[in-house]
Structure 1
């Protein structure tokens, strides 16, 4: 079998991309597939403060706040920050406050003196908290079980200052919902796996925890207060390291959330996340960018190689081998992270997610302004 120079270059590029793919699959993501899931602690010796920021979340608070208030934990408070809401949020919280003594409501009033945005609301919630260990979630989130706080409590290791949890989305019918859940899955696999590898780079505010003292020692969100998003991932990116960060993936510690139901709302959400990612540490930005670029090159070079014979046979073999390896690992992770139904659609969703990420990256270049609700 003789290959032209062009065919040799294409196949060389394809093999290079495949090898880099293998690194992320076998030396990063496989760690999450193989790690032993720790049991929920039987004891809960230290108090916890749960912080939730709410802006026009009356209906979500009615539906989901009871799941947080009814946690099976001996000593915890729930702080809900009403951030300049104009719906029935205040009335809903007043009703809950009359029934639950461990609920504390903090109100951010509308006014020029206040800095708009979720970070200010989070800061107000932290200042109002009575305990050292802070657990964060959102108004539209539902803990999987009443043992959520036991799983997210402060670890025995006092050096641990940050705990990264996992928050899947509720499943519904439709391609958009499947894509949102698959993107959430891949994001979680990435940040949880890299945390296991000793390079934590982000967390999600729907389910994470850290020490109050760490927040004030690092001056809170001062370094990126001007960015609308990033109250979760930018804080973790700046202050998490291999020695002070742990993950929690036990099913009882998952926090479920309601996904966007329109493509426009989903794009708006991802635009906020993309803006925060620009402030990641250089090493993190390089690795995350390399993942997308390598995936883009892999598909592009593969399609180009199909146009040449006999290079197309070799390219097809490499592509099938890549698919087989990924199909052994990612469906297992989909089951571990509570998305077992998506494993049958893995190859299709993998390609669709890649197309979406490229589209979102291009769109973010032209759409600059974003805000929190």
Structure 2
């Protein structure tokens, strides 16, 4: 009974911690309205780094080319591909004068390093304002550049955007992938509004060339094979220089993994970079995840043993209701509201997966840029 009492009081503490995060952190994004920005029409360089992406470029590059924006170039970086990526790039470049190709060959010092390729692409770009996406991404509207670039002001040199994944009917894996993306976006948008931005996603991210070179680019983590997006944001973003864009016309959409093995491998790479975040970010993120894990572990234990079950049930429902309220508006903002029905199930599944990924990464190192 003493052990169960300890679990019971620990459960109460965990529910309080969870409530604090939901009410005081995540509400920053939940009830936030996207500011309408004036039309700026600044010159923009869209940068796409591709390695063995011939098919994806054929499918998705036209949606970037057709953007309704007057002054933009597209910098295509061929990162030592061994398929027809370079040929596809050249075909598009022959048809469109605003496309520039940077052909990167492997070097001994930077073998397979995406950051090296990106750096060469950034140097080759002619404009101050840089907008990044991936070869397997497409803007959801022809106003993507307009929406993302509108958030650049004299004080804001870094813009965090949202990139979701296309939906696949009757796929539990697809829902899990999109739920994890939704949770991550809620976190980095909320933290940015709190003045402690910690990450962004390279599928939809913008910053100035001055910011890149003023902070020595990727030099502080150049030896790490991942983190060209989140680690760079973690390094340079602060309360004053960071803006967020979550207007629907500013989204990009990516092709999701269709096998559990492929998604697990991808997430292993992403999770491995988190240990290089700033200490305050690591503490907060660890506290969020730990409280989620302990909430479900303690709740299940107390329900099975029926220890103070009425109080436990009340606290359990209190936390679940808060979660639904906080997730409601963001899921609609980010066009993921179909996930709400499975919210508790997806959360438990994701918690288990994150724990598995963490343990697996301790045992072996993940693979990186293909």
In structure 2, the partner of 1:257 is 254
Match of 1:246 in 2: 243
Tell me whether 1:139 sits opposite 2:96 in the alignment.
Answer: no
1-side partners of 2:86 and 2:152: how far apart?
A: 37
Determine if the alignment matches structure 1 residue 221 to structure 2 residue 218: yes
Structure 2 residue aligned with 1:54: 50
Q: For residues 143 and 40 of structure 1, what CA distance do their matches in structure 2 show?
A: 19
Name which of structure 1's ranges 348-357 and 309-318 shifts more when overlaid on structure 2: 309-318
The correspondence for 2:203, drawn from 199, 203, 206, is 206
2:19 aligned to 10, 18, 22, which one? Answer: 22
Residue 114 (structure 1) shift:
4.5
TM-score, with structure 2 as normaliser? 0.96
Contact kept in structure 2, 1:40 and 1:147, CA below 8 Å? no
Residue 41 of structure 2 corresponds to residue 45 of structure 1: yes
Residue 64 of structure 2 corresponds to which residue in structure 1? 68
Give the Cα–Cα distance (whole angstroms) in 2 for the partners of residues 37 and 53 of structure 1: 29
Query: How far apart, in 1, do the equivalents of 2:113 and 2:36 lie?
Result: 37
Paired with 1:317 and 1:156, the residues of 2 have a C-alpha distance of 46
Q: CA deviation at 1:309?
A: 4.1
Mapped pair 1:267 → 2:264: yes
- In 1, the alpha carbon distance for the partners of 2:308 and 2:146 equals 56
1:335–1:343 CA contact under 8 A, matched in 2: no
Matched, 1:360 2:362: no
Q: Distance in 2 between matches of 1:319 and 1:113?
A: 53
Superposed CA offset, 1:237-268 (max 9, x none): 01100010010000000000001111111111
Secondary structure of the 1:201 match is coil
4+ runs of 1 displaced by more than 6 Å?
none
The answer on whether the counterparts of 2:37 and 2:150 sit within 8 Å (CA) in structure 1 is no
2:286 — aligned with what?
289
SS at match of 1:278: helix
Alignment of 1:190 onto 2:187: yes
Q: Which runs of 5+ in 2 are unaligned?
A: none
Query: Match of 1:322?
Result: 319
Query: For 1:78-126, what per-residue CA distance to the aligned partner results, in whole angstroms no more than 9, with x for missing partners?
Result: 0010001111111111110111100001001234364421101110110
Return the alpha-carbon distance in structure 1 between the equivalents of residues 252 and 245 of structure 2. 11
- Using the alignment, how far apart are the partners of 1:307 and 1:192 within structure 2? 37
Query: 2:165 pairs with 142, 166, 169, which one?
Result: 169
1:52 match: secondary structure: strand
Structure 1, unaligned runs of 5 or more: none
Aligned pair partner of 2:96 in 74, 95, 100: 100
Indicate which of 64, 82, 85 corresponds to 1:86. 82
Cα deviation, residue 5, structure 1? 4.0
